[in-house]
Structure 1
Amino acid sequence: MDKFSDMMLFVSIVKNQGLAAAGRELGLSPATVTARLQTLEERYGVKLLNRSTRHLSLTDSGAMYHQACLEILDSVKETENLLQTGLKEVRGTLKISAPRDIGKQYISPIVSAFAEQYPDVTPYLYLNDNLSNLAESGLDIVIRYGELADSSLISRKLAASRRVLCASPEYLARRGTPISPQDLANHDCLALVRSNEELKTWHFQDSGKHNVITVLPKRCSDDGEVIRQWALEGAGIALKSILDVQEDINQRRLVTLLNGYMKNFNASTSSAGADLNVIYMSRQYQPKRIRLFLDFLIERFELLADK
């Protein structure tokens, strides 16, 4: 069996999260898929997948091979288009993930503008606050707040940001305004949930002093937009990125609190710890549509910063 077919098989296994499902997609029996995967692993002398009866995940070698397969298969498709049309067309899918707040306010209009310019590109915009494994997710681009932990990925800053505590004027009139981080113990706080864990430990930096406050959440959600909406309704105090709530603050729908402190969900003392970043695997062999969208996205945020 040729290496190109092996690459198509492996990509199908990861996409469908199973050998049997990949076989159905490619018209192969489960036994054939299993045998070909085993032959592939034996050829390179590495394990590519961790498999159990209910779960399939990529090993480090598998993640590297999977990304290379995606890039090569995309490059082949691009070359086929070039040969068939005589033009290097920009076509195909573009899979993007972004937090819901920033996704609706900023990313969705940018995706729309890009799709109008390149109508043969089909964008998929996934709005969630989860931290996806980029290699396994099939996503091309992930937009997230905060610093990058995985050194195998590439991260570029889209916009400077910071965390702010905020609440509605109605809530503050009813419950009072906290004047120190410790006062939050007596307030209703709204906590984001990430990876099934409440982000209720809030960090405050002031003149080199580090305060760690564990709040008792009044409400929790894994959706940052829901947290913002609850704050607007007067349900409590939220720790949000300034980009998400800037317009609410401008319109006095929300008021910022404890403005003398640098705030975050972790102990990072870096001002970049809350910046908005675009994350992707590699520019090597990257399909033209992804390269163009990255440039388009960065240019649009530069224009926003100049306003």
Structure 2
Amino acid sequence: MDKFADMTLFVSIVKNQGLAAAGRELGLSAATVTSRLQALEDRYRVKLLNRNTRHISLTDSGALYHQACLEIIENVRKTESLLQTGTKEIRGSLKISAPRDIGKQYISPIISAFTKRYPDVVPYLYLDDNLSNLTESGLDIVIRYGELADSRLISRKLASSRRVLCASPDYLLKKGTPTCPQDLLEHDCLSMIRSNEELKTWHFEDKKHHRSITIVPQRFSDDGEVIRQWAIQGAGIALKSELDVREDIKQERLVMIMNDYMTNFNAFTSSANADLNVLYLSRHHQPKRIRLFLDFLIEHFSTYISSD
């Protein structure tokens, strides 16, 4: 029993001043319209229309029903329009900064999926391995490993990760596999540059000791993706985030080494984690497009977050 369809039918009968004309408008036969009107009157046990071969008129009950039908149909129309407009109103720019590896492997596909849902959002994706001052950069969202020391920012974890040492199978076959931090001094290492600082002091922790080794890098880059590609090509050992090289390890393009050690670019403190976080400014009236993208981003990464 489709009451809304019956309301639409009844309004059409009144508007067209006839059952046959209403049938033509709705693509129904005259017999079907007559049968449905009779069923409607039987359901409510009232006469809705006075009709003869040439004319129809509303009864008192029919007038009440007709007015109610008009109001309900209009409310449904407004609701549908509101829902459609709600999607269209999600518009404007969305400025996102992410590390190059993460940006290309994960964030770019997420943006593509998001803009299919909200085509009037115009994304700007900045691939940058350096830390950004979000309050001065004009960015809406920054995705980074670890935390940024700014109390004005909200930080939410996207995925658990850690720093790992890795190299290609060919490199390890030729140069051997280091087993302790000191061994790295005899190996070709690949160093990141961040904000003009050469990250060549690597920190290690095992069950008993904390130690730091200053490597002698064979190559430097401020682009994490370049470091990863050099490692795949057999140029040396890289210190990377596990999330960056997860697929390379799965496909055996890279091998993790010295797994008994925790590794990092920074000395180990309570805040020196390597989890992937999304950071954004705290705003009382956050634009809806930003709120929606944050939810979309966090939902996508939920499978990567380890349970506490």
Q: TM-score, normalised by structure 1?
A: 0.70
Q: Indicate the larger mover: 146-155 or 256-265.
A: 146-155
- 8 Å CA contact 1:189–1:215 kept in 2: the answer is yes
Superposition deviation, residue 269 in structure 1: 3.9
Superposition deviation, residue 268 in structure 1: 2.3
Q: Distance in 1 between matches of 2:86 and 2:266?
A: 52
- 1:160-217 superposed Cα distances (whole Å, 9 cap, x missing partner): 0000000001001111110100000000000000001110010001014101010011
Q: Secondary structure at the match of 1:220?
A: strand
Report runs of 4+ in structure 1 exceeding 3 Å deviation: 85-88, 269-272, 303-306
> Structure 2 vs 1, CA of residues 86 and 276 (structure 1 numbering), >3 Å: closer, same or farther?
closer
- 8 Å CA contact 1:283–1:291 kept in 2: the answer is no
Q: How does 1:111-150 map to 2 (within 5 A)?
A: 111-150=111-150
Q: Percent sequence identity over matched residues?
A: 75
Which structure 1 segments of 5+ residues have no match? 1-81
The residue aligned with 1:98 is 98
Q: Distance in 2 between matches of 1:279 and 1:305?
A: 16
Superposition deviation, residue 149 in structure 1: 1.5
Q: Distance in 2 between matches of 1:125 and 1:86?
A: 25
Q: Distance in 1 between matches of 2:111 and 2:223?
A: 21
Superposition deviation, residue 147 in structure 1: 2.4
Q: Distance in 2 between matches of 1:284 and 1:111?
A: 24
Superposition deviation, residue 303 in structure 1: 3.7
Q: Distance in 1 between matches of 2:230 and 2:210?
A: 28
Q: Secondary structure at the match of 1:273?
A: coil
The residue aligned with 1:174 is 174
Q: TM-score, normalised by structure 2?
A: 0.69
Q: Distance in 2 between matches of 1:172 and 1:86?
A: 56
Q: Secondary structure at the match of 2:273?
A: helix
Q: Distance in 2 between matches of 1:156 and 1:284?
A: 17
- 1:62-91 superposed Cα distances (whole Å, 9 cap, x missing partner): xxxxxxxxxxxxxxxxxxxx9xx7988111
Superposition deviation, residue 283 in structure 1: 3.7
Q: Root-mean-square deviation (CA), in Å?
A: 1.8
Question: What amino acid does structure 2 have at the position aligned with 1:236?
Answer: G
> Structure 2 vs 1, CA of residues 155 and 208 (structure 1 numbering), >3 Å: closer, same or farther?
farther
- 8 Å CA contact 2:87–2:118 kept in 1: the answer is no
> Structure 2 vs 1, CA of residues 285 and 226 (structure 1 numbering), >3 Å: closer, same or farther?
same
Question: What amino acid does structure 2 have at the position aligned with 1:123?
Answer: P
- 8 Å CA contact 2:202–2:212 kept in 1: the answer is yes
> Structure 2 vs 1, CA of residues 205 and 88 (structure 1 numbering), >3 Å: closer, same or farther?
same
The residue aligned with 2:16 is none
The residue aligned with 1:198 is 198
Superposition deviation, residue 148 in structure 1: 2.7
Which structure 2 segments of 5+ residues have no match? 1-81
The residue aligned with 2:249 is 249
- 1:222-244 superposed Cα distances (whole Å, 9 cap, x missing partner): 00000000000000000000000
Q: Distance in 2 between matches of 1:252 and 1:243?
A: 15
Q: How does 1:14-163 map to 2 (within 5 A)?
A: 89-163=89-163
Superposition deviation, residue 146 in structure 1: 1.1
The residue aligned with 2:236 is 236
Aligned length in residues:
223
Q: Distance in 1 between matches of 2:110 and 2:272?
A: 23
Superposition deviation, residue 132 in structure 1: 1.1
Q: Distance in 2 between matches of 1:241 and 1:300?
A: 19
The residue aligned with 2:286 is 286
The residue aligned with 1:224 is 224
- 8 Å CA contact 1:159–1:276 kept in 2: the answer is yes
Q: Distance in 2 between matches of 1:179 and 1:193?
A: 25
The residue aligned with 2:13 is none
Q: Distance in 2 between matches of 1:210 and 1:168?
A: 27
Q: Distance in 2 between matches of 1:134 and 1:271?
A: 19
- 8 Å CA contact 1:164–1:263 kept in 2: the answer is yes
Superposition deviation, residue 272 in structure 1: 6.4
Q: Indicate the larger mover: 237-246 or 143-152.
A: 143-152
